[in-house]
């Protein structure tokens, strides 16, 4: 593991070994994906993209392909990137099963600027909240900005908290700090994002900011907020912030 986000690979190896096709213990393509997320994606494309046919879309942190499949079915030429080799292998297999042609690539969204490619739609497929450190998040947002076509749309779909919500769910191997970083207990490691606190080793896992902080961050990165939607997941204040940006 070179960086904290390479830890996703072991999650996908486990998903694959159990015969699942994605997160949430799902075994079939029909069950794949959160219905509310997919509906939001479809209706946002409907509202904000003038005819997807012939346009291209980039799915950030595509995992096993859930939202990339939705975008391809809407008519986009889709590229999906994910840091996990296992996830990309599974996404390719699932695309073949559906007769969908999608360009799935193993890649790091911190390196978007190096692609030198423009997209009409960029969708953050629940990936930005996996990018923890401020310098990494700025790099991702600058990469998205540089990769967005002039009249392109960036849909940011990211998990947020309110000031008093605690996303650890009481699990002892997780820690949520005052900077909104969720850490998981790990073995000693030289990977970037692993720290030692009182003899215990912790790996950075998520950045669950409050909504206002995410909005500040995207404006600072040069985006204009066109629409805001909050999907509350539970009574603790934890939920998905969904922004349409240009
Ligand atoms: C919360 S999962 C969501 C996966 C998928 N979009 C879905 O909805 O099932 C976040 C995804 O982001 C990927 N990821 C995390 N950091 C990444 C990075 N730096 N570059 C590319 N993908 C990354 C993970 O491997 C994981 O598949």
Which atom of ligand 1 is least distant from the CA of 61?
A: 12
Residue 98 Cα, ligand 1 centroid: separation in angstroms? Answer: 22
Q: Which residue has the CA at smallest separation from atom 7 of ligand 1?
A: 63
Between strands 148-160 and 119-125, the pairing is parallel
CB of 102 closer than 6 angstroms to any ligand 1 atom: no
Closest C-alpha to ligand 1, atom 17 = 83
Q: How far apart are the first and last CA of the chain?
A: 34
Say what percent of the chain tops pLDDT 90: 93
Nearest CA to ligand 1 atom 4: 63
Mean pLDDT of 16-27: 96
Full-model pTM:
0.97
Q: Whose CA is nearest to atom 1 of ligand 1?
A: 126
Q: Mind giving me the DSSP string for 138-184?
A: HHHHHHHHHHEEEEEEEEEEEEE--TT--TTTT-TTEEE-TTSEEEE
* Helix residue ranges, H only, 27-168: 35-48, 66-73, 85-97, 134-147
Percent of the chain with pLDDT over 70: 98
Q: Is 145 in the pocket of ligand 1 (CB under 6 A)?
A: no
User: Is the shortest distance between the CB of 23 and ligand 1 below 6 Å?
Assistant: yes
Would you call 238 exposed, middle or buried from its count of C-beta atoms within 10 A (0-12, 13-18, 19+)? Answer: middle
pLDDT at 235 exceeding the cut of 80 = no
How far, in Å, from the CA of 151 to the mean position of ligand 1? 26
Report pLDDT digits (tens) over 130-180.
999 999 999 999 999 999 999 999 999 999 998 678 899 889 999 999 999
C-alpha closest to that of 58 among 151, 126, 133, 154: 154
Whether 124 lines ligand 1, by a CB cut-off of 6 Å, is no
The Å distance, Cα 172 to ligand 1 centre, comes to 24
Euclidean distance between CA atoms 27 and 36, whole angstroms:
19
């Amino acid at each position: 593991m070179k960086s904290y986000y390479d830890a996703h690979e072991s999650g996908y190896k486990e998903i694959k070994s159990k015969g699942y096709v994605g997160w949430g213990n799902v075994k079939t393509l029909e069950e794949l994906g959160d219905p509310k997320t997919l509906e939001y994606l479809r209706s946002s494309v409907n509202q904000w993209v003038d005819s997807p046919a012939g346009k291209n879309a980039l799915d950030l942190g595509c995992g096993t392909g859930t939202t990339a499949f939705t975008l391809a079915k809407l008519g986009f030429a889709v590229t999906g990137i994910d840091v996990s080799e296992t996830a990309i292998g599974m996404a390719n297999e699932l695309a073949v099963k559906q007769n969908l042609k999608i360009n799935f690539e193993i890649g790091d969204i911190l390196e978007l600027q190096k692609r030198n490619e423009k997209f009409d739609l960029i969708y953050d497929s629940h990936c930005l909240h996996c990018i923890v450190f401020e310098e990494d998040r700025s790099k991702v947002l600058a990469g998205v900005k540089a990769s967005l076509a002039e009249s392109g749309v960036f849909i940011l779909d990211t998990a947020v908290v309110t000031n008093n919500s605690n996303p650890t769910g009481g699990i002892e191997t997780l820690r949520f700090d005052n900077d909104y970083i969720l850490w998981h207990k790990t073995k000693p490691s030289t990977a970037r994002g692993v720290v030692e606190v009182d003899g215990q080793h912790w790996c950075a896992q998520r950045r669950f900011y409050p909504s206002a902080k995410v909005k500040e961050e995207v404006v600072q990165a040069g985006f204009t907020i066109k629409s805001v939607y909050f999907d509350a997941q539970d009574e603790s204040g934890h939920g998905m912030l969904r922004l349409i940006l240009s």
